[in-house]
Structure 1
């Protein structure tokens, strides 16, 4: 894998890789919706295959299954976009960075950003991964009988640090 430049260090530091053609076509409105979805899914799965040695098989299969469900265009309404490859890469970077085996629910924003949601009881962590390597995060947690909510935007690498006061282990170390 050294030839492709996709080492774990490069993945975690935000190395973008070389799958720009499919990702660019996936956001191209001139293509049919089906073609854009096919291109986006193919780009995400090809990229995943290049970093598969860093993911366990269960996680890889689960992410593929969730991506396929998210791209069921019969469920789409309006001008939605398929997953942006760099947003998906950010999610994988986060999961590898935190060494999490948790199983977040995944969703797509209307712009094609991947949104991951972890829930433990009533407590929730939501992260929207942006293509440029940043992410919006939202924590909603009941601590000492009171609801605390916090939100922000930061680089993916800083998220564990900025949400640390909310004990993210309840989400990231959870095995469902």
Structure 2
């Protein structure tokens, strides 16, 4: 069984409902066991700033899926939840990114793990380190909690998901 961490974010419509739908979709997938979810954090948008704030969580999965299979599942869930890729870093109903897959470093045309920008994003690092405080970057060997982005602020605890027992 493999361990993967995913970032899930949304800033359109009923944001909490979209997080719950993404979690429910992950739970329904063969080869995926949802282990735990972080608290929900609210953050200002990055890149295109003229849009609504995001709600973000990180989830830990146990999976038998290979990394590219997991990526396909994430993209299918995004599509099922109505994501349209019209503006890079624009508004979205659901954004599911693979942050980590075991301690693997993966570089392909379609997938980079660890996620290439996660070290720069407090809205990813804070919920990740909530779930795995000792987690280290498989490329640098540094603990994610020591990344400078952890000190940037702009990430507010919003609440927790009431999605039933994991």
Give 1 or 2: higher strand fraction. 2
TM-score w.r.t. the length of structure 1 is 0.31
Q: Which has the larger radius of gyration?
A: 1
Give 1 or 2: higher helix fraction. 1
Higher relative contact order (CA 8 A, sep 6+): 2
